[in-house]
Amino acid sequence: MAEKGQKDRKTDQSQTQDTTDEMTLEQIFSRLEEITKKMENPETGLEDAFALYKEGDTLLKEAEKRISLVDRQVRALEDDGTEVDFQ
């Protein structure tokens, strides 16, 4: 039975990664807000809270990766002497 649980978790993790690849940054932040609200709900069970935490951790890492990429791109533009307009 423990093997089935481990297999399910691995499947969940790969599905979460596939989903984050298709999400916009705005969708990731929106989902993180939903997760936070569910975790703050006292009726959320421990196992569900842990699954939500893992999903949130994956989403947060993806968001950080994307923001870091944009930051590097902006710095490359600035170093190149290209004018950057953020309006």
- Single-letter code of the amino acid located at 51: A
On whether the pTM is more than 0.85, the answer is no
Q: Which residue type, as a one-letter code, is found at position 58?
A: T
Q: Is 41 helix (H, G, I), strand (E, B) or coil?
A: coil
**Segment holding 37, helix H or strand E:** helix 25-40
**How confident is the model over 29-76, as pLDDT tens digits?**
999 999 999 999 999 999 999 999 999 999 999 999 999 988 888 877
Q: Are 55 and 35 in contact (CB under 8 A)?
A: yes
Sign of CA dihedral 16, 17, 22, 23: positive
